[in-house]
């Protein structure tokens, strides 16, 4: 059983094996369809007949006012109202069950729907509150969506690999368990791309997910479904993961909030695919997608409040600190307009410029960030993904012989690709990483800023299967400076954001990415989101600053 490394095409022997998996895939898809319950679903006549549509407002056409009210609440407020008895967990659940089911019908964001379990859990939580006069925890009755990636005891966890479609988790991921113990209600697991390594959504099990703001566009990835469901308000809070942009691209492309925390704070295990190795040149993290800074903080408080380091020795015991919401004049921000590798497209530049102007007007210190070492760091990041010569990824693909999708081919050939690295070069990349970590901190100190405002990607949400450049996000994975993604309130406007045809690309990557943005009309309605980056380990200050920054920018 081999893959042709340069072509990564399905060889005849793969085809034979893959045939044995197709009935399983069919069965899985049927189960997903069966998960769309009559009581929650959107009537067929409200489903758009074509793509290129903003579907975010469609559920409101059939939801009651109360249901809209419930699903518009921030998670912190929702939890507070449930705790006070103003809302029941069951009525909250039913509202979210509808909106999540519709979200899936409209964007294909779900891998698994288990609404009955959610309803049962919500009922039990109501009983608990009635009997005990107190909640089980800070998330009592809050509907939370989960990327399918995390082990969930008793459920299949395949992580987008066809070869793992029979893999039933033996235990539940610690991060997920902590949310559950705090009262979260689970009912949907969301979609991710093949290899978990596209800033896009395609896999051979459930196909692509669509961007709620414009269904011709991608949700981003790899927490693809989490981006879509957050934008559709199908969950109050969601869990994604990020090793190159996988929380931030979907949050940005779909127009919601996302936090990539500093590594080793939020627990991560067990996860599928498990594997025995640990790649630590560039470290994955779990984190929240949500609809506000307050909800990002709620997630972190619940996770760290459980002291997960008492059982997981790979974590660092840094409790979440309560810090004050800063005054605008206390904020000091450097703005990165261009990373020197791929210049942002017109809508992103417009977003950055508008943001800088408003921040200055509000009294925020704003200076320009001079990007440096970006290409070296981004190359090191890609090297990290493929350092084992793709041995682990290929072994997972080979389990089923499934076809290798275009963006999988792209990422497998990025960085060191199939050559892999020697340990000597791997360690050199770690040296580049550590040196740049400190050099970036030094530049922040020299500029006297605490935050960096930058693009999330060189453009707004692209078409499916096209996004190649991860540098605006995976730079920060490598350096491990935490990031918050937030919407600016602006959207791509074809009348304003015309492509700059006079611009001469500085390299092939930039040429490729700029050519994707050949016609602004394709991207109409795509959210313009930005990324705020803080100092490593200072997630608390970052989240609070993002709340103020986003408020000023969206005003």
Enumerate the active-site residues: 147, 222, 246
Q: Which stretch binds its own copies (CB under 8 A): 291-299, 308-316, 500-508, 541-549?
A: 308-316
178: Cβ–Cβ under 8 A, 6 or more apart, which residues? 267, 302, 303, 306, 308
Alpha carbon distance 368, 366 (integer Å): 7
33: Cβ–Cβ under 8 A, 6 or more apart, which residues? none
Residue 338: closest CA among 348, 347, 327: 348
Least Å from the CB of residue 338 to its own copies: 23
Least Å from the CB of residue 144 to its own copies: 25
Cβ-based burial of 331 (10 A; exposed 0-12, middle 13-18, buried ≥19)? buried
Q: Is 537 in the site for its own copies (CB under 8 A)?
A: yes
Query: Closer to its own copies at the Cβ: 417 or 494?
Result: 417
Query: Closer to its own copies at the Cβ: 77 or 376?
Result: 376
Residue 349 labeled ligand binder: no
Residue owning tokens 């459920």: 155
Q: Is 314 in the site for its own copies (CB under 8 A)?
A: yes
Q: Which stretch binds its own copies (CB under 8 A): 50-58, 387-395, 402-410, 511-519?
A: 387-395
Sheet containing strand 483-491, strands side by side: 110-113, 185-190, 143-147, 237-242, 285-290, 257-260, 483-491, 527-533, 451-454, 332-335, 365-368
Q: Is 171 in the site for its own copies (CB under 8 A)?
A: no
Site size toward its own copies, by CB under 8 A? 45
Q: Which stretch binds its own copies (CB under 8 A): 112-120, 292-300, 424-432, 490-498?
A: 424-432
Contact set for its own copies, span 481-520 (CB under 8 A): 481
Q: Is the peptide bond before 140 cis (omega within 30 degrees of 0)?
A: no
Q: Which stretch binds its own copies (CB under 8 A): 270-278, 284-292, 297-305, 546-554?
A: 270-278
**Which of 46, 83, 430, 463 contacts its own copies by CB under 8 A?**
430
Cβ-based burial of 474 (10 A; exposed 0-12, middle 13-18, buried ≥19)? buried
Least Å from the CB of residue 517 to its own copies: 34
The answer to whether the CB of 528 falls within 8 A of the CB of 490 is: yes
Q: Is 479 in the site for its own copies (CB under 8 A)?
A: yes
**Which of 3, 18, 40, 426 contacts its own copies by CB under 8 A?**
426
Residue 223 labeled ligand binder: no
Query: Closer to its own copies at the Cβ: 112 or 539?
Result: 539
Residue 403 CA: distances (Å) to CA of 232, 262, 292, 408, 475: 31, 35, 38, 10, 30
Contact set for its own copies, span 53-112 (CB under 8 A): none
Alpha carbon distance 349, 270 (integer Å): 40
Residue 463 labeled ligand binder: no
Q: Is 279 in the site for its own copies (CB under 8 A)?
A: yes
Alpha carbon distance 440, 458 (integer Å): 21
Least Å from the CB of residue 430 to its own copies: 4
Compute the Cα dihedral for 165, 199, 284, 428 and give only its sign. Answer: positive
**Which of 85, 317, 353, 448 contacts its own copies by CB under 8 A?**
317
Q: Is 318 in the site for its own copies (CB under 8 A)?
A: yes
The answer to whether the CB of 334 falls within 8 A of the CB of 372 is: no
Q: Is 392 in the site for its own copies (CB under 8 A)?
A: yes
Least Å from the CB of residue 481 to its own copies: 8
Q: Which stretch binds its own copies (CB under 8 A): 27-35, 291-299, 406-414, 425-433?
A: 425-433
Residue 10: closest CA among 407, 406, 404: 404
Residue 380: closest CA among 419, 430, 439: 430
Provide the β-strand partners of residue 147. 190
**Annotated binding residues:** 196, 222, 243-246
Binding site for its own copies (CB under 8 A): 275-280, 309-314, 316-318, 387-389, 391-392, 420-424, 426-428, 430-434, 437-438, 440-442, 445, 479, 481, 535-538
């Amino acid at each position: 059983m081999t893959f042709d490394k340069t072509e990564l095409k399905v060889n005849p022997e793969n085809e034979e094996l893959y045939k044995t998996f197709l009935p399983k895939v069919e069965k899985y898809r049927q189960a997903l369809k069966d998960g769309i319950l009559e009581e929650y679903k959107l009537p067929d006549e409200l489903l758009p007949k074509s793509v290129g549509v903003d579907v975010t407002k469609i559920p409101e056409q059939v939801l009651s006012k109360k249901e809209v009210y419930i699903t518009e609440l921030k998670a912190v407020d929702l939890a507070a109202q449930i705790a006070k008895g103003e809302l029941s967990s069951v009525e909250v659940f039913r509202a979210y069950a509808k909106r999540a089911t519709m979200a899936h019908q409209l964007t294909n964001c779900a891998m698994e729907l288990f609404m009955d379990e959610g309803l049962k859990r919500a009922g039990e939580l109501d009983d608990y509150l009635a009997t005990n006069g107190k909640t089980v925890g800070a998330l009592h009755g809050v509907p939370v969506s989960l990327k399918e990636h995390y082990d969930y005891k008793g459920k299949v966890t395949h992580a987008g690999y066809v070869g793992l479609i029979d893999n039933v988790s033996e235990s539940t991921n610690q991060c997920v368990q902590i949310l559950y113990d705090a009262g979260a209600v689970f009912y949907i697991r969301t979609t991710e791309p093949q290899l978990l390594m596209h800033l896009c959504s395609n896999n051979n099990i459930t196909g692509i997910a669509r961007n709620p703001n414009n269904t011709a566009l991608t949700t981003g990835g790899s927490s693809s479904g989490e981006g879509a469901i957050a934008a559709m308000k199908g969950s109050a809070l969601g869990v994604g993961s990020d090793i190159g942009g996988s929380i931030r691209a979907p949050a940005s492309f779909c127009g919601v909030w996302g936090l990539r925390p500093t590594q080793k704070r939020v627990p991560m295990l067990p996860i599928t695919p498990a594997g025995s190795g640990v790649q630590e040149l560039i470290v994955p993290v779990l984190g929240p997608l949500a609809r506000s800074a307050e909800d990002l903080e709620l997630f972190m408080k619940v996770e760290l409040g459980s002291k997960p380091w008492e059982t997981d020795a790979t974590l660092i015991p840094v409790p979440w600190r309560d810090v004050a919401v800063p005054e605008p004049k206390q904020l000091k921000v450097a703005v990165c307009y261009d990373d020197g590798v791929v210049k942002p497209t017109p809508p992103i530049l417009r977003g950055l410029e508008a943001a800088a102007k408003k921040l200055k007007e509000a009294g925020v210190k704003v200076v320009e960030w001079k990007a440096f070492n970006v290409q070296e760091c981004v190359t090191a990041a890609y090297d990290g993904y493929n350092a084992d010569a793709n041995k682990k990824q290929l072994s997972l693909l080979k389990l089923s012989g499934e076809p290798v999708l275009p963006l999988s081919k792209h990422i497998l050939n990025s960085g060191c690709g199939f050559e892999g690295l020697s340990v000597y070069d791997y360690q050199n990349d770690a040296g580049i990483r550590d040196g740049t970590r400190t050099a970036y901190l030094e530049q922040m100190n020299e500029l006297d800023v605490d935050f960096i405002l930058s693009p999330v990607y060189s453009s707004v949400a692209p078409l499916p299967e096209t996004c190649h450049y991860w540098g605006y996000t995976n730079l920060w994975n490598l350096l491990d400076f935490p990031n918050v993604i937030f919407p600016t309130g602006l959207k791509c406007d074809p009348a304003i954001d015309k492509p700059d045809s006079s611009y001469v690309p500085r390299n092939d990557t930039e040429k490729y990415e700029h050519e994707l943005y050949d016609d602004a009309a394709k991207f109409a309605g795509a959210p313009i989101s930005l990324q705020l980056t803080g100092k490593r380990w200072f997630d608390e200050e970052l989240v609070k600053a993002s709340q103020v920054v986003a408020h000023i920018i969206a005003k």
